[in-house]
Amino acid sequence: MKLFMANILAFLFFIPISIQAESDTLTDEKKIEWRMALYQKAEAVTQIPWYYFAAIDQFERNIHEETASKTGIIAITIPEEKWIGYTNPYRKGKQKTGMVEVFDGMGRDGNGDGFADPQNDEDLLQSIAEWLLQYGHTRQDIKTALWDYYQRELSVQTIMNIAKVYQTFNTIKLDEHIFPLPLHVNYTYKNTWGYPRGFGGRRIHEGTDIFANYGVPVRATTYGVIEMKGWNRYGGWRIGIRDIHNIYHYYAHLNGYADDLKKGQVVKPGDVIGYVGASGYGPKGTSGKFPPHLHYGMYRFNGEKEWSFDPYPHLRKWERETKRK
């Protein structure tokens, strides 16, 4: 195992450290290239698939307004007490690796300078790599490592979903979105997020209603994984899709599902997932209590809690983008 750790160190040591000097001039496209290079080299040495490193990094990018990295290439941000060790009396992030190891900190040296720097991309990625390697290489090993690190089931599930999407499409460039209904059909919608709702007690409307005829195809708006499928007394036949940005997309009041659609399936923008209906507001099978429409909701997870936010501006943006295609 010590030899294996040495190999990891060697791997990250040979990643060009000019990455730091060039950080101010790197375009977003170049940063993506650097990320992929870091993920793929991590895979080459650890035998842990690159998409797990990419998913952890993306999850961290989604939950932090500001990340630790000086370059913004890697978003992994490790709390100081974890980095240097909880009992370490020297409360300084960048320390000699030997000092960090004495106090059982996570911080590792990934660029060969002898220091564990929590703001250095190579050091951050190596630290996560060694954390994962303590548990093993299998999917279950990765899930266990993530649970021990994040201590939240939804965090683990979200990271595993992101990894599944990256694995399926073999890229991290997956920012395309599409309007949920075909633009050639008759539909109408306005911003009703936050309006009061009567059924089921006092509550607010957590979404946008897009009115259309029965049977109009409903499409995935984003890359993601089907996390929920089935009946809900409020939403009727509904589908929930978790995307790579920690956002849960909720499609409700459907008339039915696309053939062979199943929980855990990876989808891309434009995939038909169901059909407009008027199901819900009662026991399983209830329909027709309101005009047919798609209820579209969005919920953000920040690593600690999840909340609804207004999807209307996003729908308007995706509608414009879809028209241009």
Q: Which helix (H) or strand (E) holds 24?
A: none
- 295 and 155 in one domain? no
pLDDT digits (tens, 9 = 90+) for 87-129: 988 878 888 988 888 999 999 998 889 999 999 999 999 999 9
Range 171-195 average pLDDT? 94
56 with 103, same domain: the answer is yes
* C-alpha dist (Å) from residue 105 to 125, 130, 134: 15, 12, 14
| Residue 6 scores a pLDDT above 60 | no
| HSE toward the beta carbon, residue 16, CA cutoff 13 A | 8
The C-alpha atoms of residue 42 and residue 51 are separated, in whole angstroms, by: 10
Same domain, 90 and 206: no
Could you tell me which residues come within 8 angstroms of residue 324 by beta carbon, excluding any fewer than 6 positions away? none
Calpha distance 31→67 (Å, rounded): 15
28 inside domain: yes
Amino acid letter, 110:
G
Phi-psi region of 260 (alpha: psi -120 to 50; beta: other; left: phi over 0): left
CATH of the domain at 284: 2.70.70.10
**What would the pLDDT profile of 284-296 be if each residue is shown by its tens digit?**
999 999 999 999 9
Q: Are residues 87 and 12 in the same domain?
A: yes
Is the same domain home to 57 and 114? yes
Q: In 10 A of CB 140, how many CB atoms?
A: 9
Report pLDDT digits (tens) over 254-309. Answer: 999 999 999 999 999 999 999 999 999 999 999 999 999 999 999 999 999 999 99
How far, in whole angstroms, is CA 39 from its chain's centroid? Answer: 16
Classify residue 134: in a domain, yes or no: yes
Are residue 198 and residue 120 in the same domain, yes or no?
no
| Mean pLDDT over each residue of the chain, to the nearest integer | 90
Pair (55, 107) in one structural domain: yes
Domain shared by 279 and 143, yes or no:
no
CA torsion sign, 270 to 274 to 275 to 276?
A: negative
Looking at the predicted structure, is the pLDDT value of residue 16 above 90?
no
Residue range 176-193: mean pLDDT, rounded: 95
User: Of 138, 169, 200, which closes a domain?
Assistant: 169
Nearest to 181 by CA among 319, 292, 320: 319
Least confident of 7-21, 65-79, 287-301: 7-21
Is the residue at 181 inside a domain? no
Which amino acid is residue 246, in one-letter code? N
Q: Is there a single domain that holds both residue 289 and residue 259? A: yes
Does any domain span residue 180? no
For residue 123, tell me if it sits in a domain: yes
- In angstroms, the CA 268 to CA 17 distance is 36
Instruction: Please state the φ and ψ torsions of residue 156, each to the nearest 5 degrees.
Output: -60, -45
Q: What is the pLDDT of residue 5?
A: 47
Last residue of a domain, one of 169, 202, 225: 169
**113 with 156, same domain?**
yes
pTM reported for the whole predicted model = 0.90
Is the residue at 182 inside a domain? no
Which domain range does residue 54 map to? 2-169
The whole-number average pLDDT for the span 228-237 is 94
- Picking from 142, 169, 196, the residue at the C-terminal end of a domain is 169
Query: Do 9 and 128 reside in the same domain of the chain?
Result: yes
Q: Has residue 177 been placed in a domain?
A: no
Residue 2's pLDDT is 44
Calculate mean pLDDT across residues 127-154.
96
Number of separate domains in the chain: 2
pLDDT confidence band for 202 (50 / 70 / 90): low
Residue 8 has pLDDT above 50, yes or no: no
Q: What is the largest CA-CA distance in the chain?
A: 68
Instruction: Specify whether 163 is located in the same domain as 192.
Output: no
Classify residue 59: in a domain, yes or no. yes
DSSP calls for 134-180: TT-SSHHHHHHHHHHHH--HHHHHHHHHHHHHHHHHT-S-------S
